[in-house]
Amino acid sequence: MAWIEEAETDGQDLPALFRALSLDPKSLESVKQLNEALAFGASALNRAQEEAIATVVAAANQCRYGAMTHSGFLRRHCADRSLAGQLINDFARADLGLADRRMLEFAVKLTKEPAAVTRQDVEDLRAVGFEDPQVLSIVLLTCLYNFMNRLADGLGVDVPPSYQTAMQRWLTGPAAQAQWLMKPKER
């Protein structure tokens, strides 16, 4: 499942990415603490917003592991079960409110063109109701998920076949045809 051998994890049930990091217990613990400090309900955003950011960042990076895992989390934390597929395919066309649209536009811009982010981008987030702690969370989460995507792709971590099967059951439309998402990379 990964390009490198995994260390023994004492029977811990770790996600595939964390298992790949298990060769270096200190790094594994640091990455786990970073995730716990910034995401999974610890940010100034709600869980659906956190997972929406994770999903669009993974889609922008074409990170199969991130897109599959976080779109699944998004489906659990969002009333609109079709939103995950919309975000994977083209977040700009997704059925979103203005604040969430601006949040995701910012996350994708920071992912694809970090040097192009300006004070005006932050002002645009404030103009739709985000307060400074939420803006900080948007930036931190975007950075975190870019980091995690790079780890997954750099270590050759992929999702278990059961994720692929589950996603094929619920994902429809153009996202279900995305080559980068639906077919594992040659590893």
Tens of pLDDT, residue by residue over 101-117, are: 999 999 999 999 999 99
Number of domains in the chain: 1
Tens digits of per-residue pLDDT, 118-177? 999 999 999 999 999 999 999 999 999 999 999 999 999 988 888 778 877 877 777 777
Q: Which long-range contacts (CB under 8 A, 24 or more apart) does 43-46 make?
A: 43/137, 43/140, 43/141, 44/131, 44/133, 44/134, 44/136, 44/137, 45/103, 45/134, 45/137, 45/138, 45/141, 46/77
- Residue 95 included in any domain: yes
- Residue 10 included in any domain: no
Burial grade of 76 (CB within 10 A; 0-12, 13-18, 19 or more): exposed
* Domain of residue 109, residue span: 16-182
Report the pLDDT value the prediction gives residue 48, as an integer from 0 to 100. 96
- Residue 5 included in any domain: no
**CATH number of the domain residue 25 falls in:** 1.20.1290.10
Percent of the chain's residues with pLDDT above 70: 91
- Integer Rg of the chain from CA: 16
Burial grade of 170 (CB within 10 A; 0-12, 13-18, 19 or more): middle
Q: Residue type at 167?
A: M
- Residue 4 included in any domain: no
Mean pLDDT taken over the chain? 89
Q: CA–CA separation, 129 vs 42, rounded Å?
A: 20
- Residue 167 included in any domain: yes
- Residue 41 included in any domain: yes
